[in-house]
Amino acid sequence: MTYDRLVCANCAGPVAEGRCPTCRASRQRLEQQQNPFSQLSPAALVSLLLILVAAMTLVAHQAA
């Protein structure tokens, strides 16, 4: 989950703006928990998956 769409229950502002201490703490915690793939859009993840499948297919045909 990314914090750019989260709304703070304390101040009702976007967590990404860090208006209150609760927002800032949540934003920091979420930044520490993010993995490299969390920044990619779903379309980019699907594209990477298709490229991987195509590469595996190519390798399978080369081996046969």
Task: Return the SS3 of 62.
Answer: helix
Per-residue confidence (pLDDT) for residue 54, from 0 to 100: 97
Averaged in consecutive runs of 10 residues, what is the pLDDT profile of the chain (64 residues)?
74 86 86 72 91 96 83
* Containing structural domain, residue 13: 1-33
* pTM attached to this predicted model: 0.47
**Same-domain check for residues 18 and 45:** no
Per-residue confidence (pLDDT) for residue 50, from 0 to 100: 97
Name the domain count of the chain.
2
**Same-domain check for residues 46 and 22:** no
Q: How far is CA 30 from the centre of its chain?
A: 11
Count of C-beta atoms within a 10 Å radius of residue 17: 14
Per-residue confidence (pLDDT) for residue 41, from 0 to 100: 82
**Same-domain check for residues 24 and 46:** no
3-state SS string for 30-54: HHHHCCHHHHCCHHHHHHHHHHHHH
**Same-domain check for residues 1 and 28:** yes
**Same-domain check for residues 7 and 22:** yes
